[in-house]
Structure 1
Amino acid sequence: MATTEQTRCRHCHRILRSARSIALGYGPKCHGKIRKATAAQTGAHKPAAIEKARELIELGAITPLRGRRIFTVISSDGTSSYKTAAQGCTCPAGLKGRHVCYHRVAAQILTLAA
């Protein structure tokens, strides 16, 4: 008996069917919501932070932990993970609190897209 693995949307967890959606990791509606939420953040944060946050979301390195408010994020070198939300992050930059880290930007984007 052969088993087929189904790919699910990283945002809403629905089954993805089209090749484009599977490649993106998001269905068309969720992808549109994330694009709108990313565009809404462009004036509030540095372009480099938004680009890193977008990459984090595309790679699936940020996953919801509780609902869609608290997330687990993999560090850029892949050796550790942090808990993040729109209001704060446990990464070293987030703990210093001088700047908004890109983990928080990604959490803000996903929270707005919910």
Structure 2
Amino acid sequence: MGSDNTRAQNVILQEAKTLGELGAALREQQIPRIPVRIPRTLAETAVAAWQRDAGEGGTLDEETFEERIARQRAGTLALIGIAVEERGQRDSDCVVVDLHPEQIGVAMDAADEL
């Protein structure tokens, strides 16, 4: 039974690595931005994250895997914030902005952990 679990884990790890390689190949392509509607309060929070991030520099101490993921997600929020600030258009209680699909994917992955 243990051997089957190990084999299954190896397959899963290899497939996860392959997904990463596929992602790297996709990053090399010119993928068009996608217009999305973001609730205004969330758009304002993203802009605030960008404004906070723009003024900070320096390096972090060693970080755990979970801390690295959180930092990368915070960085993605800041990138969405600059997009909102530069290209966002208010539409009622939302802001419409074109985002890169990778940013949308990161946000959706973060939603899975709410």
TM-score range, shorter chain: under 0.3
In terms of fraction of residues, the more helix-rich structure is 2
State the TM-score, normalized to the length of structure 2. Answer: 0.26
State the TM-score, normalized to the length of structure 1. Answer: 0.26
Tell me: higher relative CO, structure 1 or 2? Use CA pairs within 8 A at least 6 residues apart. 2
